Amino acid sequence: MAITRAKKGEIIEKLKEAFKNAKSLIFVNFRGLSVGNATSMRRALKSEGISYTVAKKTLAKEALEEANFKGVQPPLEGELALAWGEDLVAPARGIHSFEVKFPENLKIMGGVFEGRFMTAAEMNEIARIPTLEVLRGKFVNIINSPIQRLVIGLNEISKVK
């Protein structure tokens, strides 16, 4: 069934609004992903505050042109879905976790990060950034390490006497 011109306009406006409010945006190829897997992925992403929608490439490209992102838009091949959110890294991390589960059906094609188009490789690197809680834990461990070594050293000196 064909989409009416009015419906296309609504979709483009929805995408433009999403692009304006999103801090990062991921382009996803979901070829062959089963409905059950797609539904579970949508639920998991929604619980993390990530929006996910399927869009026609022509409508998405039109909305992207009006968004005026910097750089060169990555090629959008196959079926197109978009994931975005308020967190800079969460959409990439969320899609990447499902890309690992379904490598033959889900692929990051690129995205937008801080107002600039990014390639698939760059978005995959961004997706590997740990969460803020993990980064804080690593920082505390780094700060604690010299103190811990000093205490162990003093303890060994006290055992010698």
Render pLDDT for 111-130 as a digit per residue (tens, 0 to 9).
998 888 889 899 989 888 88
What are residue 1's DSSP bridge partners?
A: none
* pLDDT the model gives residue 46: 92
In angstroms, the CA 25 to CA 129 distance is 16
CA geometry: angle at 25 spanning 83 and 70, to 5°?
160
In angstroms, the CA 44 to CA 27 distance is 17
Q: What is the CA radius of gyration of the chain?
A: 22
In angstroms, the CA 118 to CA 124 distance is 10
The class that CATH gives domain 5-129 is alpha beta
In angstroms, the CA 72 to CA 69 distance is 9
* pLDDT the model gives residue 1: 56
* pLDDT the model gives residue 43: 93
pLDDT per residue, tens digit, the chain (161 aa), is 577 888 888 888 888 888 887 888 999 998 888 899 899 999 999 998 898 988 888 888 888 888 888 888 888 888 899 999 888 888 999 999 899 998 888 899 999 988 888 898 999 898 888 888 888 998 888 888 888 888 888 888 877 76
Closest CA to 88 of 111, 62, 119, 65: 111
What is the DSSP code string of 121-154? HHHHHHHTSPPHHHHHHHHHHHHHHHHHHHHHHH
* pLDDT the model gives residue 83: 92
CA contacts within 13 A on the Cβ side of 22: 29
Q: Is the pTM of this model over 0.75?
A: yes
